Amino acid sequence: MRAVLDARLVLSKAREGKVHDKRQLDEEKLVDFVLDEVPIHVDLGFQGLQKEFVNIKIPDKKPRGKQLTEEQKQSNREKSSDRLFWKGGQRTARLLMLYQQILQQSEIAADESSEQMELRLSGLVVKQHGKLRVYNRIYQAIFNQAWVNQALETIGME
């Protein structure tokens, strides 16, 4: 579970079993202290949070039986990208280069490094059988090598 608070990453302990992100957030009261001016970037696991706070940046959820519009899809891609770039500079560059390595090699050996954990928490990659790989083909198509190049250029690390 994670939420980005104005360039600060808030983490809580992972729980065994399935616990909805929103439920865990409610129980641990992680965002109750956040001012309305501070944007909180979250993923769809936090559905319902936008009803409680005005500063929530959450992707659009696909309506039952319908599709998202192209504008909603583009907005969701931007929000996903924003969740990864919670901190600029060298740290972001290291994350991008690690992600680039996963893209190029299809998977890499997983360890418990903070960089690998951050990529896993961003939702871009998943750990399976001791390896890190891109979460799914849709993410791989959207967050591809061109995206990595552009992101590195944006932070001045091309």
- pLDDT attached to residue 92: 77
- Is the residue at 74 inside a domain? no
In this structure, the answer to whether residues 98 and 60 fall within a common structural domain is no
pLDDT of 3 strictly over 50: no
In this structure, the answer to whether residues 44 and 96 fall within a common structural domain is no
In tens, the pLDDT along 74-112 reads 888 877 766 655 445 567 778 888 999 999 999 999 998
- Is the residue at 43 inside a domain? yes
Domain boundary among 68, 103, 119: 68
Strands laid side by side in the 8-11 sheet: 8-11, 2-5, 40-41, 56-57
- Is the residue at 124 inside a domain? yes
pLDDT of 30 strictly over 80: no
- pLDDT attached to residue 53: 77
- Is the residue at 80 inside a domain? no
The total number of structural domains that make up the chain: 2
- Is the residue at 44 inside a domain? yes
- pLDDT attached to residue 44: 76
In tens, the pLDDT along 100-147 reads 999 999 999 999 888 888 888 778 888 999 999 998 888 888 888 998
- pLDDT attached to residue 13: 47
Q: How confident is the model at residue 5 (pLDDT cuts 50, 70, 90)?
A: very low
- Is the residue at 99 inside a domain? yes
Domain boundary among 68, 100, 123: 68
- Is the residue at 82 inside a domain? no
Strands laid side by side in the 108-109 sheet: 108-109, 131-134, 125-128
Torsion of CA 12, 58, 52, 49, to 10 degrees: -40
In this structure, the answer to whether residues 62 and 6 fall within a common structural domain is yes
Assess contact for 119 and 95: CB atoms under 8 A: yes
- Provide the residue range defining the domain that includes 126: 90-154
- pLDDT attached to residue 4: 40
In this structure, the answer to whether residues 63 and 104 fall within a common structural domain is no
- Is the residue at 79 inside a domain? no
